[in-house]
Structures are given as C-alpha cells and as structure tokens.
C-alpha cells in the first residue's frame, strides 16, 4: 500500500539536532529527513526524546545545536505560532484540547489562521463575516463526517471519553490543512477497535490529502503496518533509521528496544 503512493522530495530535514534540559540530554545529534507524502514513525522507549523531537520540529523547543530545514528553508529562531503559518499542525501526547469549547468550536479554531475578516465584520457577524464563517463551517463539517464524530458536534470536549478526544484533536489539526502533521502517540490508551479506526484515519488523511505525517507510537505492529520509514531513538540518540523491515532487522534495535518490549 505505501508503495503505491509517490513519495516526493524532502519536505523536512532535521540535521544534527541536540537539546538538553539542565543535565538531561534529551536529544543528541539526531538527523533524519521526511519526504513529501510519507509517513514516518519515531519510536523508542520512554524518555527517549521523541516528544522533544516533535517540539523542536514545530518550534516549541529551540534546539541548542543543529538545523531544521522545512520546505527548503533553513529555520532560524522562530516563535511557536509561526509553525502553524508554515503549514505544520500537531496533536499532543496529553490531549491539549480547549476543554470548555464544543467539538465543533475546537475544530473551527483549527481554521482560525485561514479566517481573515476583521474586527468590524466580526462585530456585525453579517455579510462577509457570516459568509466566511459558513464556508469554514462547511469544511469543518466534512472533517467531522470524515472522523465519524457527527454525534458529538455540540458536546463540550471535556465531557468526551479519551478516545474521542484524541479524534477531535486530530480533527483540529486537520482543520488547518497542514502540509506536515505531527502526531504524538495518537493511539495511546486506546482499545483495539479504536486503534484500528485511528489507523484508518491516519492512512486516509495521508492517502486522500497527501499530508506528510510524522507520528510517535509505541505499538510496534501499528508502526510496522502504517509507516514508510522509522526513526528509532534511545536515550536521545538515533539508534536506527530506515524502512520498517530494515529497522526490525537491526541488531541494536533488537537489543535496546524490541528486546526489552518483548521480555
């Protein structure tokens, strides 16, 4: 299945990234690249630096060494909100939804950057502002249909079960129509059925919209199934990097990670 998609040029290039917090070296000299339309998985034991890597990619952490090149442009020190402008969206390991808002409003917020009507029109909620609101609402409704969450449209997300919250968070990220989608453990804490649904959504997003995806996942069967390439981190270092088969066959990985997991 992945083979049928045409993987494009390098979209994101991560080169020699290091970051440490106090004495803890969360990442040391990690390099890899992500090509257009591919699904790349980052795996590794707890505390390996996976989430830190995503935080560097979307500008939330500033690496002390190394460069990140996105869409061919080397990135300088940037503020967090700029990543969204460049076309990067993400979900979080510990769901970061807007708890007081409904599913619909959460996903609508994902489209904020695309909405341009100024304060004046917003005050009137009429004419161009209403038209804009309805256009975006229509897109959001498509996402809601796609994720099969029609029934919880108006529910405050704080009241939803965990699995659905993860889905809404994916919806919010999709609403931005990102070029690069970062998913931090999208299936953590889900049962088999929910995991299958989530896998299907991720593959469909990748397939239908051509979105490039970097995801972190602990479930090895999932990783091996859906990703084109895999980066293995351990104690902040890159242990292996390649196709699922290559990684699976790598002795370091077997020793350090798979071995542990299978004990």
* Binding footprint of another protein on the chain (CB under 8 A): 58, 60, 80-85, 89-90, 92, 96-101, 105, 108-110, 112-113, 115, 117, 119, 122-125, 129-130, 133-134, 137-138, 141, 172, 176
- Which helix (H) or strand (E) segment holds residue 10: the answer is strand 10-21
Rounded CA-CA distance 254/89 in Å is 32
Residue 165 touching Mg ion (CB under 5 A): no
If binding is defined by CB under 6 A, does position 120 make contact with ligand ATP?
A: no
Q: Point out which span in 15-23, 43-51, 108-116, 133-141 binds Mg ion (CB under 5 A).
A: 43-51
Does the protein bind Mg ion through residue 93 (CB under 5 A)? yes
How many angstroms separate the CA atoms of 108 and 141, rounded?
A: 9
Q: Measured from the CB of residue 263, what is the shortest distance to another protein in angstroms?
A: 36
Rounded to 5 degrees, what are φ and ψ at 246? Answer: -60, -45
Q: Which stretch binds ligand ATP (CB under 6 A): 29-37, 49-57, 98-106, 111-119?
A: 49-57
- Residue owning tokens 């129509």: 177
Structure tokens at 145: 């249909």
* Candidate segments 42-50, 64-72, 142-150, 248-256, binder of ligand ATP by CB under 6 A: 42-50
- The β-bridge partners of 91 are 183
Nearer to another protein, 58 or 227 (CB): 58
For 36-71, list the strands marked E by DSSP.
39-43, 65-70
CA distance linking residue 241 with residue 183, whole number of Å: 18
Are 69 and 17 in contact, with CB atoms under 8 Å apart?
Answer: no
Show Cβ contacts of residue 200 under 8 Å, excluding neighbours closer than 6 positions: none
Measured CA to CA, the distance from residue 77 to residue 64 in angstroms comes to: 10
CA–CA dist 190, 26 (Å, integer): 27
Which range, of 55-63, 93-101, 172-180, 222-230, touches Mg ion by CB under 5 A? 93-101
**According to the binding rule CB under 5 A, does residue 47 interact with Mg ion?**
no
Q: Which of 51, 55, 58, 103 binds Mg ion (CB under 5 A)?
A: 51
Which of the listed partners (another protein, Mg ion, ligand ATP, none) does 260 bind, with a CB threshold of 5 to 8 Å by partner kind?
A: none
**123, interface contact from another protein, Mg ion, ligand ATP, none, CB < 5-8 Å by kind:** another protein
Q: How far is the CB of 193 from Mg ion (least distance, A)?
A: 24
- For residues 40 and 51, what is the distance between their CA atoms, to the nearest angstrom? 14
To the nearest whole angstrom, how small is the minimum distance from the Cβ of residue 182 to ligand ATP? Answer: 12
Closest distance of CB 55 from another protein, Å: 10
Q: How far apart are CA 216 and CA 185, in angstroms?
A: 5
Q: Are 117 and 132 in contact (CB under 8 A)?
A: yes
Residue closer to Mg ion, measured from CB, 51 or 206: 51
Least separation in angstroms between CB 106 and ligand ATP: 23
> Contact positions toward Mg ion, by CB under 5 A?
51, 93
């Amino acid at each position: 299945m992945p083979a049928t998609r045409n993987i494009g040029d390098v979209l994101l290039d991560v080169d020699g990234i290091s970051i440490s917090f106090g004495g803890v070296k969360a990442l040391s000299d990690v390099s890899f690249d992500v090509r257009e339309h591919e699904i790349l998985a980052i795996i590794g034991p707890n505390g390996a630096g996976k989430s830190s890597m995503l935080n560097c990619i979307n500008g939330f952490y500033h690496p002390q060494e190394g460069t990140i090149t996105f869409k061919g442009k080397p990135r300088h020190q940037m503020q967090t909100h700029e990543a969204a402008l460049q076309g990067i969206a993400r979900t979080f390991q510990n769901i970061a939804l807007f708890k007081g808002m409904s599913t619909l409003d959460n996903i609508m917020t994902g489209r904020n950057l695309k909405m341009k009507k100024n304060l004046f029109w917003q005050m009137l909620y009429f004419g161009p502002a209403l038209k804009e609101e309805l256009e975006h609402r229509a897109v959001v409704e498509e996402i809601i249909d796609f994720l099969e969450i029609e029934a919880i449209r108006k529910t405050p997300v704080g009241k939803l079960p965990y699995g659905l919250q993860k889905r809404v968070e994916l919806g919010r990220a999709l609403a931005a129509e990102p070029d690069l989608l970062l998913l931090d453990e999208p299936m953590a804490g889900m049962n088999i059925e929910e995991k299958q649904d989530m896998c299907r959504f991720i593959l469909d997003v990748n397939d239908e919209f051509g979105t490039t995806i970097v995801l972190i996942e602990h479930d090895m069967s999932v990783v091996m199934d859906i990703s084109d390439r895999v980066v293995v981190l351990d104690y902040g270092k890159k242990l292996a990097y390649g196709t699922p088969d290559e990684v699976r066959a790598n002795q370091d990985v077997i020793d350090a990670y798979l071995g542990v997991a299978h004990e």
